[in-house]
Amino acid sequence: MNIALIGNSLANLVLSKFLIKKGIKVCLYHSKNNFKISPTRTIAISKSNVNFLQDIGLDISKFSWPIKNIKIFNEKNKSKELFNFKNKDKYLFLLVRNKSFFSFLEKNLKKNKNFSTKTISKSFKYKRLINDQYDLIINSDSKNILSKAYFSKRIKKNYNSKAITTIINHQVNKNDCAYQVFTKFGPLAFLPYSKNKTSVVFSFNNSSKEISDHQIKDIISKYNKFYKLKSFSIFEKFNLDLSLSKNYYYKNILGFSDNLHKIHPLAGQGFNMTLRDIKIFGDIVEKKLELGLPLDNSVLKDFCKETKHLNQIFSTGIDLIYEFFKLENKIDNIYTDKIIKYFSNNKFFNTQIPKFADKGLFF
């Protein structure tokens, strides 16, 4: 069995590890010229997904940081949290730096004879790839000719926002609590990954308006009630949008990862959605192999049937959270205050939300 993966992404590297563990040969096609690992971006990986990674031989405990609490604030309540999701005995999620995770995966995969890589040049012929002897092709690159030809039909939403990421250095503390502040400028998240370093993700709501590094520092400092700041790293900026593919597959080609669903980063669920997709895809492949069936178009049909509707509902839910707090910060409305108060005091809501964040709609 041979599978080709297109795109040098974290998702494809994890998927490669899963597939070669099942004895499948994987060839990863990538373009070195366009690839760059962000030095400031981090990923929150939920507990169930940490367990899944461990099950396939990827122990991330040595380069991750446990988060036991998540406290949520808004513009009106900067000092008292609206919600406090916590797990005193265990962590809610582990935070890892993209750069550390990518290096770990590359090193792990290089040891395996069933894993190989090939560089995609400017003159690369994708038709040649399709005609090669691959049972399945997994396409995680949303910008190549295959995506434009077969995965261009999408539900799209432009948030008119920029995500700004940086690392803050601060005085040493326990640092096991993540903070989300829904400011009038946009959602601002503080995500710890060591005793004295915290990742910051700021979604600035007006992308048409230029914002300087100095202004960003001022905004972060204004809403920071949690750390004694020492310094900032570089600031990275990228546009935010919602993108859900209407087509999951074409013949033996499967769209995957960001090529299927891109969501707002406020809840840190984008990569967790992809990890859940990997698990479901892997389970389908495993069942086919156990029954002695070929890995063909039926795998992609089953994957689409199991995941598409749940991914769309989950993505829409994240979007509604964003829109609610955006509206709530714009108007002084007693009804939104009552809604927040109701849910913050609702025991069922406070026990189910961590499960939702951990396992998505699959729990």
The full set of domain ranges for the chain reads 2-65+83-157+245-362, 161-239
338-351 average pLDDT score? 57
234-237 LR contacts (CB < 8 Å, sep 24+) = 234/39, 234/40, 234/166, 235/40, 235/164, 235/165, 235/166, 236/38, 236/39, 236/40, 236/41, 236/164, 236/165, 236/166, 237/162, 237/163, 237/164, 237/165
Average pLDDT, the chain: 86
Whether the per-residue pLDDT at 122 is higher than 80: the answer is no
Average pLDDT over residues 280-304: 93
pLDDT digits (tens, 9 = 90+) for 104-121: 999 999 888 999 998 887
CA distance 344 to 323: 18
Residues 91 and 94: their CA atoms lie apart, in Å, by 7
Distance (Å, whole) CA 83 – CA 62: 30
CA atoms of 256 and 245, how far apart (whole Å): 10
Give the pLDDT confidence score for residue 208 in this predicted structure: 64
What tens digit of pLDDT does each residue of 36-91 get? Answer: 788 899 999 999 999 999 999 999 999 999 999 999 888 877 777 788 888 766 88
Rg (CA), the chain: 21
If phi > 0 it is left, if psi is from -120 to 50 it is alpha, else beta; for residue 317 that is alpha
This prediction's pTM: 0.88
Structure tokens at 315: 């993505």
Contact 285, 19 (CB under 8 A): yes
Task: Write down the pLDDT at residue 362.
Answer: 47
Q: Does domain 2-65+83-157+245-362 have CATH number 3.50.50.60?
A: yes
Percent of the chain surpassing pLDDT 90 = 55
- Banded model confidence at residue 354, pLDDT cuts 50, 70, 90: low
What pLDDT, on a 0 to 100 scale, did the predictor assign at position 22? 87
pLDDT digits (tens, 9 = 90+) for 241-263: 999 999 999 999 999 999 999 88
Q: How confident is the model at residue 138 (pLDDT cuts 50, 70, 90)?
A: very high
Higher pLDDT, 35 or 200: 200
Is the per-residue pLDDT at 33 higher than 70? no
Q: What is the CATH number of domain 161-239?
A: 3.30.9.10
Q: Exposure of 140 by Cβ count < 10 A (0-12 exposed, 13-18 middle, 19+ buried)?
A: buried
Using 50, 70 and 90 to split pLDDT, how confident is the model at 363?
Answer: very low
Task: Identify the weakest region by mean pLDDT among 159-173, 256-270, 273-287.
Answer: 256-270
What mean pLDDT is predicted for residues 307-315?
Answer: 90
